Amino acid sequence: MRSPVRHYVGGGFDGSGVPFPLVDPVRGTTAGEAPAASRELVDRAVDAARAALSGPWASWSPAERARLLHRIADGIEARFEEFVDAECADTGKPRELASTVDIPRAVANFRSYADLLVGRAERSWNTPTPDGRGALNYTVHKPLGVVAVISPWNLPLLLLTWKVAPALATGNTVVAKPSELTPGTACLLAEVMAGAELPPGVFNLVHGGGGDAAGQWLTEHPGVDAVAFTGESRTGSTIMRAVAGRLAPVSFELGGKNAGLVFADADLERAVEGTLRSAFTHSGQVCLCTERVYVERPVFDAFAEALAAGARELTGYGPMVSAAHRDKVLGYLGKAAADGRILAGGGVPRFGDDRDGGFWVEPTVLTGLPEDHPAVREEIFGPVVHLAPFDTEEEALALANAGPYGLAATVWTGDVSRAHRVAPALDVGIAWVNTWNLRDLRTPFGGVKASGIGREGGDHSLDFFSEPMNVCVKL
Ligand code: NAD
């Protein structure tokens, strides 16, 4: 039984607003409802966040904020199974995934920023002056103020906390808006916050849609000082227009059309296993998933055959998040079937039980499509990967770097010199060599071109969420 989805504003829960249905992606049935925040409630949330900036929160030391982040992490761990249940109910993802990736990573998000915060060293400069006595320059980090955190549906708690944790670590106050498709774990997070002894208004949560709803009202709100957003590139541009008038800073983690490069000198078995993971984890609904794989011609057939066989054997995967998203993915498959070849999948699995009402798509391997085909060019965000051959390293790089996106790429090679040559030449924010999605939370995370603006992770997030100010003292 789902716990009720409520807003959390100024330290109190609020169930007001027109209800919208929540749908179980596994079966396609209605599984509850959530209230859509009114504009008035969004205003109240921003006002509460602004008021909290000048309350006791302003004098919390970094060590106190770090302890708070650990308390929040403890609170999530104490209700671990409830968080897993809520994440699975909203997204339909397998329990195994939510309990080994989503919820543990949310805990790690809070703990890693807590640890970083207490170990953070400030630089200072002893500046020479003509009188020989010098001056001391040092940096003070101030919070940005009220930060709107807007997150997508694919990794709901992981991506929300990835921004909430560093925003709180640096002394900001937050108004969070999770995806309207997946509000459950954000609501549980608010319950954890309510028990974590943080001043009212420091963390606020509103539910509802994006355009002409809570998301848009937040980004347009003059009381919001910065927007940290993860979602589609198109939504990123809309948000940029919304904040342009007041020049509010943005941190954007956006879409991708990630390439994998498989060289003939790679350990082929490892490359196949890695590509199965990188293409089909969470049924391809991870921004880092590989959707295009370029394989050196001598091993193309062997790789394609092994990948297609692996895809056909996959079990235990989850559905698409919604009927609309399933239809979008199937639309690409329809075009691909007409213009290229389907090596595995391509349809909807049949279970012979109530899952047949859900939003399922088979793990699919395509080939033979031209590079300008929508299924090769546009982000599908489903369990679909296209394979194409290449002949030279230069050609492989040109193919990988084509297109509007630049989030992540994988390189499979047994030649360490090639790895060092190719990886840095990729137009992406993150390149993996002989692995995929191996993450150290201190490293820069983000995309280039249409895949994002700015970097998050470690000091990069702490830097985004704070305003460095220089103080110069003449000695
Ligand atoms: P989306 O852009 O449709 O929605 C994301 C969030 O923005 C939701 O909370 C939504 O309600 C809100 N929103 C929508 N329109 C808005 C508007 N006009 N103003 C303010 N808020 C608005 O994205 P989605 O479908 O939820 O997520 C999938 C997308 O997210 C994919 O493109 C995927 O690549 C991307 N993504 C990127 C990363 C990354 O780290 N780069 C991570 C996960 C997902």
At 413-446, the pLDDT tens digits run: 999 999 999 999 999 999 999 999 999 999 999 9
Sign of torsion over alpha carbons 65, 70, 71, 72: positive
Cα–Cα nearest to 166, from 439, 454, 441, 465: 465
Name the percent of the chain lying above pLDDT 90: 98
Is pLDDT above 80 for 40? yes
Mutate to test the pocket of ligand 1, among 105, 230, 325, 380 (most ligand atoms within 8 A of CB): 230
pTM: 0.98
Mutate to test the pocket of ligand 1, among 101, 151, 154 (most ligand atoms within 8 A of CB): 154
Return residue ranges of the chain for CATH 3.40.605.10: 7-254+451-474
Ligand 1, atom 39: closest residue by C-alpha: 253
The whole-number pLDDT of residue 1 equals 58
- How far apart, in whole angstroms, are the C-alpha atoms of residue 253 and residue 239? 12
Mean pLDDT confidence for 141-163: 98
Strand ordering across the sheet containing 290-296: 341-344, 364-367, 384-390, 290-296, 258-262, 408-412, 430-433
At 57-70, the pLDDT tens digits run: 999 999 999 999 99
At 88-141, the pLDDT tens digits run: 999 999 999 999 999 999 999 999 999 999 888 888 999 999 999 999 999 999
Average pLDDT value over all residues in the chain? 97
Residue corresponding to tokens 């049935």 = 29
Mean pLDDT confidence for 153-170: 98
Amino acid identity, position 312: R
Return residue ranges of the chain for CATH 3.40.309.10: 258-440
Given this structure, which CATH class describes domain 7-254+451-474?
Answer: alpha beta
- 197 assigned to active site: no
Per DSSP, the three-state class of 290 is strand
Spell out a b/e string for 261-289, using b for 16 or more CB atoms within 10 Å of the CB, else e.
Answer: bbbbebebeebbebbbbbbbbbbbbbbbb
Q: Which CATH number fits domain 258-440: 3.40.309.10, 3.90.1150.110, 3.40.50.1000, 3.40.50.1970?
A: 3.40.309.10
- How far apart, in whole angstroms, are the C-alpha atoms of residue 25 and residue 331? 18
Cα–Cα nearest to 162, from 84, 251, 225, 77: 251
| HSE, side-chain direction, 13 A CA sphere, residue 475 | 14
Spell out a b/e string for 1-23, using b for 16 or more CB atoms within 10 Å of the CB, else e.
Answer: ebeebbbbbbbeebeebeebebb
The whole-number pLDDT of residue 441 equals 97
Ligand 1, atom 22: closest residue by C-alpha: 210
Cα of 174 vs centre of ligand 1, distance in Å, is 18
Indicate whether residue 254 lines ligand 1 (CB < 6 A). yes
